[in-house]
């Protein structure tokens, strides 16, 4: 009894699956009964990213990009390919960067997003500046938390420093559990307050300078700053 090789293919996609041995019929010599969805025609050799497809009469090769990630060139959204064949029009394997737009061949920086990028960086500068102001002020080796409420309190102390009702020493709480500063008179209170406001003003000026520098930078440089 002789054996022939049949080649099975998927009943869904018609792509080649595997070869199987088919025995000669014992009742009908020379006749072989291949399994369903198979053929005796030998499938072609394929390259990487190709698949052999049986078209009902013969084998043909087709491009196979399944499981690759492609990107919609209109909005940059990603999509996992689940079909056999060439990548559909309107999609690319090139991954877009944030704030990019498709120019017909590649992703480029979307200059229309420049103002949005600057707004994000300005917000970042503002938050960093607030953090420096709130937590970074030191006076006589004591750290002071300059919350808005504390700033208002210190301003009140300063405005009332020469009032007869003001009792000295004025005790100011620092950031640590046991951190206290005694301001014995109006001169010490004034020195503390002016040091605090000078520290705030300096940080605000630095922040403004940083914001103005943003306007001088290219959109690509701004994007690099967002990644830092």
pLDDT digits (tens, 9 = 90+) for 54-63: 999 999 999 9
Condensed to tens digits (0 to 9), the pLDDT of residues 33-83 reads 889 999 999 999 999 999 999 999 999 999 999 999 999 999 999 999 999
How many residues make up the chain in this entry? Answer: 228
Condensed to tens digits (0 to 9), the pLDDT of residues 165-216 reads 999 999 999 998 999 999 999 999 999 999 999 999 999 999 999 999 999 9
Torsions phi, psi for 192 (to 5 deg): -60, -50
Residue 5: is its pLDDT beyond 90? yes
Percent of the chain having pLDDT more than 70? 100
What's the predicted TM-score (pTM) here? 0.69
Task: Provide the mean pLDDT of the chain.
Answer: 95
The secondary structure of the chain, three-state, reads: CCEEEEEEECCCCCEEEEEEEEEECCCCCCCECCCCCEECCCCCCCCCCEEEEECCCCEEEEEECCCCEEEECCCCCEEECCCECCCCCCEECCCCCCCEEECCCCEEECHHHHHHHHHHHHHHHHHHHHHHHHHCEEECCEEECCCHHHHHHHHHHHHCCCCCCCCCCEEEECCCCCCEEEECCHHHHHHHHHHHHHHHHHHHHHHHHHHHHHCCCCHHHHHHHHHC
According to the model, what pLDDT value does residue 1 have? 64
Bridge-based pairing of strands 38-39 and 3-9 is antiparallel
């Amino acid at each position: 009894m002789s054996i022939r090789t049949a080649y099975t293919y998927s009943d869904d996609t018609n792509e080649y699956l595997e070869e199987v041995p088919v025995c000669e019929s014992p009742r009908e010599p020379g006749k072989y009964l291949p399994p369903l969805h198979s053929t005796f025609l030998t499938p072609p050799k394929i390259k990487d990213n190709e698949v052999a497809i049986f078209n009902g009469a013969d084998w043909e090769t087709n491009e196979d990009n399944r499981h690759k990630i492609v990107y919609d060139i209109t909005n940059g959204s990603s999509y996992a390919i689940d079909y056999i064949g060439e990548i559909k029009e309107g999609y690319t394997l090139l991954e877009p960067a944030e704030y990019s737009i498709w120019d017909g061949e590649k992703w480029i920086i979307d200059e229309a997003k420049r103002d949005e990028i600057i707004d994000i960086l300005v917000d970042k500068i503002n938050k960093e500046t607030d953090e420096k102001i709130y937590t970074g002020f030191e006076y006589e080796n004591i750290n002071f938390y300059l919350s808005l409420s504390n700033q208002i309190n210190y301003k009140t102390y300063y405005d009332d420093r020469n009032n007869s009702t003001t009792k000295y020493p004025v005790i100011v709480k620092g950031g640590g559990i046991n951190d206290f500063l005694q301001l014995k008179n109006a001169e010490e209170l004034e020195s503390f307050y002016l040091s605090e406001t000078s520290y705030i003003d300096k940080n605000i000026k630095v922040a403004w300078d940083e914001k103005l520098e943003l306007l001088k930078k290219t959109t690509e440089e701004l994007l690099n700053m967002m990644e830092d």
